[in-house]
Amino acid sequence: MLLYANGCSMTYGAELVDDADPDPVRQRYREDHSWPARLGEFLDADRVVNDAVISGSNDRIVRTTIDWLAEHREDAEKGHLLIVIGWSGAMRREFYVDGEFRQVIPYQPHQHPDLQRLTDVYREVAWNDQECGARLITQVLSLQSFLRLYRIPYLFFDAIESSFDTLGRAGLADSGSAKMVDRSRFYRFGDADGSMADVLRASGTEWKGRHPAEDGHETWAHKLAAHVASERLLRRPTSASVALPSGPAFSRRRAFRSANRDFLYP
């Protein structure tokens, strides 16, 4: 089995080593101790591809995941792989500037002058909680539908901020779109404090700067592996409709937190 993971720095394994250090030995250490590699070992994967980047947006996650699958159609058609996505913060965007795709976080400065100008305009004019929530649920359902269409096993989770807050601020907690998410394949979807960052903070594992340390990645990999096993997610999904969630709507559980404008880097 091949395990393909995509996301932001929480998936990349930022700060496990000095991210600016090009030493291949140190970068190999980061790869080996990030949660995708640990999850791959727990699931006996033959190969692990970690396609995440620091500051990665959900725009990039959808684009690069589909691109990768299109270039690996044989693996996709045989179903000998598992796709695991750690959704990033919904405020992040991707724009094509000066010949390449670039990631934008509203309050993060950029060295490229045109990108900084675009970031300033986006932050001042177009950044809105309603749009962020609507875009996130559209991206989740779009990638979910793509993977189900080709019957590719997958698992989603929130890496930085719980969808509970992102969708709640947008007024989409009880929307028809939210009810279409396959909760068996989205770990802790709609749970308050259900993101990777929230769970690891509560678990007491160590952090390196603004990111989980080795024990945090290990803990998260264990949780994902247990969910994969309990939900039998290595089976190829069918095209059957998604069962509606049971229990009270999560919008009635507590107030939603505001967007975390200080959590810029992951």
pLDDT at residue number 185: 98
Tell whether 228 and 161 lie within a shared domain.
yes
Asked which of 118-127, 207-216, 255-264 is least confident by mean pLDDT, the reply is 255-264
* CA-wise closest residue to 241 among 156, 185, 180, 189: 180
Give the model's confidence band at 77: pLDDT under 50 very low, under 70 low, under 90 confident, else very high: confident
In whole angstroms, give the CA distance from residue 19 to residue 37. Answer: 17
Any residues with CB less than 8 A from the CB of 127 and at least 6 apart, and which?
91, 106
What percent of the chain has pLDDT above 90? Answer: 77
Model confidence at 22, pLDDT cuts 50, 70, 90, reads confident
Return all residues near 14 (Cβ < 8 A) that are at least 6 apart: 54, 210, 211, 265, 266
| Whether residues 113 and 37 fall in one domain | no
Q: Which domain holds residue 119?
A: 92-126
Average pLDDT, the chain: 90
71 within 8 A of 103, measured Cβ to Cβ: no
Q: What is the pLDDT of residues 121-167, one digit of tens each?
A: 999 999 999 999 999 999 999 999 999 999 999 999 999 999 999 99
User: Is 140 a domain residue?
Assistant: yes
Beta partners for residue 157, in sequence order: 86, 187
Note the Cα 113 to chain centre separation in Å.
28
- Judged against a pLDDT cut of 50, whether residue 253 lies above it is answered with yes
Predicted local confidence at residue 119, as pLDDT = 93
pLDDT of residue 265: 43
The region of weakest confidence among 2-11, 187-196, 249-258 is 249-258
Residue 65 has a pLDDT of 98
- 112 and 186 in a single domain? The answer is no
Residues 15, 135, single domain; the answer is: yes
pLDDT above 90 for 211: yes
Per DSSP, what are the bridge partners of residue 97? 100
Q: CA 52 to CA 192: how far, in whole Å?
A: 25
Judge if 146 and 96 occupy the same domain.
no
Reported confidence tier of residue 266, pLDDT bands at 50, 70, 90: very low
Among 77, 15, 86, 95, CA closest to 51: 86
Which tops the pLDDT comparison, 78 or 259? Answer: 78
In a domain, 256, yes or no: no
Cα distance between residue 214 and residue 152, in whole Å: 29
The Cα 33–Cα 46 span in angstroms is 16
- Verify that 31 and 155 share a domain, yes or no: yes
Instruction: Return d(Cα 40, Cα 49) in angstroms, integer.
Output: 9
75 plus 196 within the same structural domain: yes
Question: What's the CATH number where 52 sits?
Answer: 3.40.50.1110
Q: What is the pLDDT of residue 100?
A: 95
Does residue 241 have a pLDDT over 80?
no
Does residue 264 carry a pLDDT above 50? no
